[in-house]
Amino acid sequence: MSSAASDGGRTKVAVIGSGNIGTDLMIKVLRLSDRLEMAAMAGIDPESDGLARARRLKVATTHEGVDGLLKTDEFVDVHIVFDATSAGAHRYNHQVLRAAGRTVVDLTPAAIGPYVVPPVNLGEHLGADNVNMVTCGGQATIPVVAAVNAVTPVHYAEIVASISSRSAGPGTRANIDEFTETTSSAIEKVGGATRGKAIIVLNPAEPPLIMRDTVYCLVGGCDDAAVTASVEEMTARVQEYVPGYRLKQKVQFDRVAADDPLRALLPAGAGKEAAKISVFLEVEGAAHYLPAYAGNLDIMTSAALRTAEHMAAHRSCEVAPR
């Protein structure tokens, strides 16, 4: 494989998947990144809008999926591949790309590699050969769970992600079960909650509604001001790469009464200071591909772009001459 990434140049990348996510990601690489260079896009539908846009933007294309990508002249210099297909397709893509020695940033819920949520744990996995970006709901809410958990242990966390049905492509719709399972798992493994639960709502409202996320955390007790400060600081960190990410209102605190059914989700002996913390979020998209209501698209591709840029920088440092 070429060492182009180590000579001061940009790291070449490819995208598999020419749907909403893959197309938005391609546009972001072309418009926003001074670290990555878009080399090729692979899809399976020769008539897809994503492949048509790629051709207009002078990006090499193939409609033969990952196998076709490996046959392109451009692939020899590609270091990082974004997979924006589906959980099922990723299992095969991972095997092919691993054999080819490429690093993969996985935007499907396949969860083969470690979960990565940039402001929480990106630094732990810069050397991995496959990282998983969880889900759009996970990218929006897990930073909040982690922020609360940094102040006080989160015994239970539940997130509800509501997205416009018009922003959910075939891949998203086919992966609803994987979405809930992967997000729930990542709430625990990355967010730090003892137990996690995820719910996704495809909202058919017209005109389309912007992405909204609700995070509920049950804790044994907390310093309200410290939790609020931690959540606000984490929100600012996410806004560094997703400007449309914001709190809809102040963090809410409700004490859990002794006879409240929520007590069943708390450890035995939780005192009268036990509390439910509610955080309400809104994610407005940058409208690089779909309109601004598709914040779910934007937070996923923005997180993947940030992850790949940091991985490229890390690997450039590793091979730089001393």
Residue 179, phi then psi, degrees to nearest 5: -55, -50
56 is in an annotated binding site: no
Structural contact between residues 148 and 219, judged by C-beta atoms closer than 8 angstroms: yes
Dihedral pair phi/psi, residue 112, rounded to 5° = -80, -45
173 marked as part of a ligand binding site? yes
Query: In the numeric block, which tokens belong to residue 169?
Result: 């492509």
Consult the annotation and say whether 184 binds a ligand.
no
**According to the annotation, is 183 in a ligand binding site?**
no
SS3 148: helix
Tokens for 22? 């893959």
Distance CA 83, CA 207 (A): 30
Nearest to 110 by CA among 81, 85, 90: 90
Q: Is 200 known to sit in a ligand binding site?
A: no
What is the 8-class DSSP label of residue 100? T
> What distance in Å separates the CA atoms of residue 5 and residue 256, rounded to the nearest whole number?
54
Is 295 among the annotated ligand-binding positions?
no
- Ligand-binding site membership of 167 (annotated): yes
Residue 40: partners with Cβ closer than 8 Å, 6 or more residues away: 14, 15, 59, 60, 61, 62, 69, 72, 74, 75, 78
Residue 296 assigned to a binding site: yes
Residue 261, marked binder? no
Q: φ and ψ at 91, to 5 degrees?
A: -60, -40
Looking at 167-294, list the stretches that DSSP marks H as alpha helix, in order from N- to C-terminal side: 170-174, 176-189, 224-239
Token pair recorded at residue 27: 């546009």
Cα 217 versus chain centre, distance? 20
Q: Any alpha helices (H) in the chain, and if so which ranges?
A: 20-32, 49-56, 65-71, 87-99, 118-121, 136-149, 170-174, 176-189, 224-239, 295-319
Query: Is position 21 annotated in a ligand binding site?
Result: yes
Any idea which residues carry the catalytic annotation? 136
| Binding-site annotation: residue ranges for NAD(+) | 18-21, 167-175, 296
| Binding-site annotation: residue ranges | 18-21, 167-175, 296
